[in-house]
Structure 1
């Protein structure tokens, strides 16, 4: 079975309150991560029609701070489907309600796994790639997975060769004492 990405896309908006802020009046990154995880869960569950769990989160860069009083909008869409997993793209934007100015605050990718009532992984519907953007997002997810596997293998304790990396350290804020 295959579903369009539009069938499971979700958008939520929330006003940022003082209770969400840190001491400098900016919204806590952890609070935004919590909202991102919730919308990724909702999107993945809607697509799979199953309970889903977060397996990993890929690269969260906080691009712009969010102020108290701004309206934050999160958008989630299925970018990739595997056998039992999905990559959910999440975009966060904030809007100054008084000026109407919007900022892109971050984008991230949540790998979610569908589970049955016994906690076992279950197959998910595939997605229909019906635009250049959807093909780009799906392809990017495949490439990101391949890069992660290579990175993990290169730095396995059993495979790591210190001599291959020791020169790399010289220009960084570290002192090697062996």
Structure 2
């Protein structure tokens, strides 16, 4: 398979935030932003793989700043990492107040997408050609995030078998909760 650069699949989706997207606090609902991020991740992964893609995980959904009604929100995405059938799509979200010209970075997220063949099975995707130092940094960071996630999952699984009620109480000792068990 011929490698493809991230430039080949870069995608930007820009959408005006309308009143029906607002939550009860008057800010744009996080679910609307997640839906738009999923849409741009799909488009980016599909451009790279040439196949239907599905979302398998999302990392780092931290809403750094609120998005307002009337803002133009842009989701800029690129393929940062490629495995056999998976791709990590990095997404930077910015919101622009078109009246004031103020632009703010509201979110950076990483969507792991998997390419599917016509029968619904996973399929191999083209390797990623790294053309810039930024491409190398993004790929390396994705490898590190993947390793950290696997280590965290393994640690949580290992601790399950050794997780007694006494250890649970110890962990909760300085937390804002009260244990009142019904006997």
Q: Check whether TM > 0.5.
A: yes
Which residue number corresponds to residue 85 of structure 1? 86
Contact 1:153/1:159 (8 A) holds in 2: no
Tell me the CA shift for residue 65 of structure 1.
Answer: 0.3
SS of 2:108's equivalent in the other structure is strand
Gaps of 5+ in 1: none
Deviation per CA, 1:88-110: give whole Å up to 9, x if none.
Answer: 00111000001110010101000
- Tell whether 2:170 aligns with 1:170: no
Which residue number corresponds to residue 68 of structure 1? 69
Tell me the CA shift for residue 167 of structure 1.
Answer: 4.8
Which residue number corresponds to residue 150 of structure 2? 149
Contact 1:9/1:43 (8 A) holds in 2: yes
Contact 1:154/1:160 (8 A) holds in 2: no
SS of 2:157's equivalent in the other structure is coil
- Relative distance call for 1:131 and 1:114 in structure 2 (3 A) is same
Give the distance between the partners of 2:159 and 2:172, measured in 1 at CA. 20
Which residue number corresponds to residue 33 of structure 2? 32
TM (norm. structure 2) is 0.90
Give the distance between the partners of 1:107 and 1:161, measured in 2 at CA. 36
Q: How does 1:12-161 map to 2 (within 5 A)?
A: 12-156=13-157, 159-161=160-162
TM (norm. structure 1) is 0.93
Gaps of 5+ in 2: none
What RMSD, in angstroms, separates the aligned Cα atoms of the two structures? 1.8
Q: How many residues align?
A: 178
Which residue number corresponds to residue 10 of structure 2? 9
